[in-house]
Amino acid sequence: MAGSGRVEYTRLEQGQEGVVGRNAQSSDQDQSARAAEYSELEFGEEEDVRYYEEFSMYEPRSSKAQHIWKRKRFSLIHICAVAVGCLGLYAAASLLWGAIASTRSESDSVPARDGKAEPQNPIVAPDGRSRKKLLTYDNVNNVGSLVETKSLDWIAHPTDASIDGLYRELRGNMFTILKADNDTWEQPLASLDDVAKASQGLYSPFVPLGWSVSADWEYLLFNVHLERVWRHSVRGTYFVYNIHEHTMIPLTSDGNDRVQRVEWAPTGHRLLFVRDNNLFVNDMMHEIQVTEDGSNSVFNGLADWVYEEEVLGSGASSWWAPDGKALAFLRLDDTPVPTFEYQLYHPDNSSQSYPTDIRLHYPKAGAANPRVGLYVYEPSFDVGPPTSRASDNADTAFHVHEVLLDGGFAPEDTVVTNVAWMTETHSKLLVHVMNRVQDHVKAFVASTDPAQPKAKLAREHSTTGEGGDGAWIEIMQAPMFVPSRAVDSLTADAYVDIVERDGRAHLALFSPIDAREPLKWLTEGDFDVVSGTVSVGRHGALVSFASTQVSSTEFHVYQIDLAHGDAARALSPRPAGSSSSKRINAARSGTYSASFSPGGTLYVLNYRGPELPWQAVYSSSDQSLERVLNDNTNAAHALNEYDLPRVEFLQIPTDDGQAMNAMATYPPGFDPDARARYGVLFRVYGGPNSQLVSRAFSLDWHSALVSQADVPDMPWIVVTADGRGTGYRGRAWRSAVNKHLGVLEPDDQAAAARFFQHKPFVNPRRIAVWGWSYGGYATARCVERHPDIFRVGMAVAPVTDWRFYDSVYTERYMKTPHDNPDGYSASVVTNTTAFANARFLVQHGTGDDNVHLQNTLALVYRLQAANVPGFEMATYTDSDHSIYTYGVRPALYARMTNFLFRSFHELENKEFDFWRHHNPNTKA
């Protein structure tokens, strides 16, 4: 199950950004638009909104009967009196409105893109409503797309490490290397015309989807075809262009359309790639097949399904050494893992009469996990034919060697969570290993010398011993190497790692590499360092990271210069008045991220909200340097035409008196003095260590819902509350759900609902909840445990029984079904009686490889068997967990919109109760 903050697509070539999701890999710039299709909050347009438009013709609140009653009460005299009064009020308001309009000063306006002045403050009509445009289900995506996000693809200089801040870009017609702090520095690599000419006869049409450059800037790699496999993994077709000779060749002569992964070495122009689950290396002259046993059950240098989804957060399980002369990789054997089967139906393919059967090695809770082994390989390209196998080399030093973990867990109980090179060459590795239920971690130091195959146990930590809470240990990003030459005070090589201290995630510096305890703590306090944001400049002294030091709902960026002390310096927010952009000067508090250059001296600072985002380049040493990439000024002018929803951040008490982070989105023209006017829709995720309440800017389906004017008698507020179990609030808060998922999460949502039910402007009978994935599970549990509060629930792709979900995720929080049978039984959605008086919608993709349709079908079976009438189900053919296949995403949100309004209309009007199953022989 995707954790909060994970990226949807992984980078297909060398390079990483500093501050991105849980794993340090970032999505390729050229694939960002494609990846956006998989966002769970995207709402479409086109004809699929007809579900909502049809319902908008309904007359809510039994208005027909009310109108008859009113006609009886009101005489002609009453009507005339009301009319005269209204005319008088309208005349007075018109005069006042004209006076206000005529006296509006020029300072209240800003230049529009067409040169005309446009108002900066909302225009208020005489009736108190704004005359600005409102977000709708049709336009919210288009309006949201006005807000642009830019990034730089950093790249290292091939020979001069003192030159930092370089990035690659297709500028006009030229593939180019540029310098972020010098507008005149430019290194052209190749033109589009040269590339097109060299590609003739190889692939038609040759339209690159993405590109990258070798570390020595001598070759370009192009991908021209991509197929999505699982969440992060793809299968594609690749070609290599020689910059000096202007020639193009396929990446591999055999099976070039089946390449599963490609990565340049950090030096030179070596490549590793995976094809048919076998690992290969290539130096443009020779291709060596490293492994030979790849199959549907054996994965070399590539993650299988459960490692990709739950352990590595990436399709990659191979890592080049810093000098490019060796690589480490995992071999994952799924032979003992049971398979799950489902079908793809291809409804738009009239020539395919039979579905395609998909067989996936998927370990459900309690089932066998993949067997994992760690291997190292040092390729030799000096001799041999153009294509060969590693095993052909007579010198066994150049064969694949397994790293043995001395004192590790049993093979069936081993999960390798991190592998990191602890050297500037290729001599040493640090390996993090956990047991199956992830409450015990061990760190091993391994030599790549074949004569020393056993890795040494350096340190370990378990939560099941004395003083431990027995809960899980979070998988953090891989440690970062710091060479001793980079810091005068170091007498041995070191590394930076995220380690829990006093229930918080903090940075620790370990030296030497096999140290049992930290040499020093780089951070301390009641906050968390955000995993996936830590980077170390290639010189080794600059450590950059994001943390929740300001607030658990906003991330700020910091940097430590180990060579000049270990005090963290805040890089966000920027000092007031330091920018040439008025918008950047105006944005102070909020949440930030950053991506750092290879040397760590330059960085792109991303302001993410709550106001409109912006991006700018800054220097770690030169405070005067600024290059604005995008301040979204044009978007600000365009959005000023709209009356946008208002977001409030607040804290809500749980039943035991703790404070939940929450955010409420109010409709334009919200009236806090209204009486029982607004319904509240709770948006929930609630999975362990996740976060939804963030100060990041967002325009999505929720924004359109609160802005809707089609059903004026049913306005909505959308509330999100991060209850116990969610992240960035410390270990005690997070681990409260250990071994009993599905209890505290819905109870905390119910506490938040009661909090709003007591607001005078809220209709306490109009409380609904919805969520996706874990949020779908939490939604079903909210209805099951608190049907008196949540009268409508809408679940998308929910887990309904944790015995159906994958072992690595589920057992992390629930232990095994054998060890915690009561916890598993109590977590299943089974109480159908609670659904009898509620309205419940469940939607699921038939091709969901992640949360299987089995979950929804099991719940539907129970509801049908109990003759529960108030639920509906929709399936989406061939869609996976993201539900986007065949463009059905708009239909999903349109169905939820329709269901929400229609359900409360039915609940509040007895004439819609006709479909209930009453026994005519039973007296009322």
The 3-class secondary structure across 443-480, one letter per residue, is: EEEEECCCCCCEEEEEEEEECCCCCCCCCCCCCCCCCE
Do residues 546 and 558 make contact, with C-beta atoms less than 8 angstroms apart?
yes
The dihedral built from the CA positions of residue 455, 456, 461 and 462, taken in this order, carries a sign that is: positive
Residue 62 lies in a domain: no
Residue 616 lies in a domain: no
Residue 837 lies in a domain: yes
Nearest CA-CA partner of 155 in 139, 135, 179: 179
Last residue of a domain, one of 380, 414, 435: 380
Last residue of a domain, one of 350, 380, 410: 380
Residue 859 lies in a domain: yes
What's the rounded mean pLDDT across residues 706-734? 96
Beta-carbon contacts of residue 3 (< 8 Å; ≥ 6 apart): 22, 313, 687, 689, 690
Q: Please count the structural domains in the chain.
A: 2
Nearest CA-CA partner of 527 in 705, 264, 728: 728
Residue 333 lies in a domain: yes
Whether the pLDDT of residue 559 is over 90: the answer is: yes
Catalytic residue among 232, 269, 881, 905: 881
Q: Does residue 573 have a cis bond before it (omega within 30 degrees)?
A: yes
Indicate if 401 belongs to the active site. no
Q: Could you give the 3-state DSSP secondary structure of residue 637?
A: helix
Q: Work out the angle between the directed axes of helices 774-785 and 744-757 (0-180°, nearest 10).
A: 70
Nearest CA-CA partner of 236 in 273, 266, 269, 202: 273
Catalytic residue among 773, 879, 882, 903: 773
The confidence score (pLDDT) of residue 923 equals 59
576-623, pLDDT tens digit by residue? 889 989 999 988 889 999 999 999 999 999 999 999 999 999 999 898
- Domain of 10 in residue numbering reads as 1-17+151-359+372-380
CATH number at residue 344: 2.140.10.30
Q: How confident is the model at residue 130 (pLDDT cuts 50, 70, 90)?
A: low
The confidence score (pLDDT) of residue 166 equals 98
Residue 141 lies in a domain: no
Which segment, 47-56, 141-150, 235-244, 906-915, is predicted with the most confidence on average? 235-244
When computed from its CA atoms, the radius of gyration of the chain, rounded to whole angstroms, is 30
414-468, pLDDT tens digit by residue? 999 999 999 999 999 999 999 999 999 999 999 999 889 899 999 999 999 888 9
344-401, pLDDT tens digit by residue? 999 999 899 999 999 999 999 999 999 999 999 999 988 678 899 899 888 888 999 9
Indicate if 449 belongs to the active site. no
Residue 483 lies in a domain: no
CATH number at residue 816: 3.40.50.1820
Last residue of a domain, one of 317, 345, 380: 380
Catalytic residue among 181, 493, 848, 880: 848
Indicate if 848 belongs to the active site. yes
Q: What is the enclosing helix (H) or strand (E) of 430? A: strand 428-435
Tokens of 907: 């609940």
Integer Cα distance of 540 and 538 in angstroms: 5
850-873, pLDDT tens digit by residue? 999 999 999 999 999 999 988 999
Residue 828 lies in a domain: yes
